[in-house]
Amino acid sequence: MTTLEEVRKRAEADAKTYGYYLNPDPDFLQGLIEGLKKNWDRYGYPSCPCRLASGNLEFDRDIICPCDYRDPDVAEYGQCYCSLYVSKDVYEGKAPMMSIPERRPKEKQARAYGVAAEVPIEERGEEEAAVKAGEPALVKKKLWYCKQCGYVVYREDPPYICPICKAKREMFAEIKMKVRMKG
C-alpha cells in the first residue's frame, strides 16, 4: 500500500518538475492527497481524485494523476480540474481559484458510469461509435509519435501535451503499420 506521504511527495515532485505548485489550501490539499491514495489503493493506480474512475486501467489511462488534461487546464485557467496543481499566480493569490470546465470527452466519462454515451451522428468519426448500454466498451489503441521529439506512446488518443518536449497534441501523428505474411 502507498502512504499519504508517498502520494504527497510524488505530487510535489511532479509539480516542481513542471513548474507548478500544489493547492495552497492545506485542508483542501489534504483531501485531494487522501483521494489519490484511496484511488491508488482501490485500483492500483492514482486516478484523479475528482473524477469517477472505472477501475479499468485502459479506460482510465487519461485520468491517472497527473491527468492528460492538467497542462492545458493550468495553461488556460491557472489550475487543473481538481485544483491539485496550480500556477504560481494562483498559489501566490494573484489569480483567483475558479471552477473550470471538464475537458474529458463524454464518451470517456460514460465508461466510468457504465451508461450509454450518446454521441450525435454528425460528431462521430469513421471509427467512433456510441457506447451502447450493456455492451463492453472497446479501447482502440494506436501508436502515436511526437513529430517534435520522437516520443512514442501506445494508447487510445495522443496526450494533450508531450510529456518530454511539451509540444501540443497537434504535433502527434499516428503510426500506421502494415504486416505482410509471406506464403
Looking at residue 40, its pLDDT comes to 94
Which grid coordinates belong to 16? 516542481
Which grid coordinates belong to 84? 491539485
Looking at residue 81, its pLDDT comes to 96
Centre a 10 Å sphere on the Cβ of residue 72 and count the other Cβ atoms it contains.
15
Helices first, then strands: H and E counts in the chain: 6, 5
Segments in the chain below pLDDT 70: 1, 115-139, 183
Rounded to two decimals, the pTM is: 0.71
- 118-161 pLDDT, tens per residue? 444 444 444 444 444 444 556 688 889 999 999 998 888 888 88
Quick one: which of 36, 96, 68 has its CA closest to 168?
A: 68
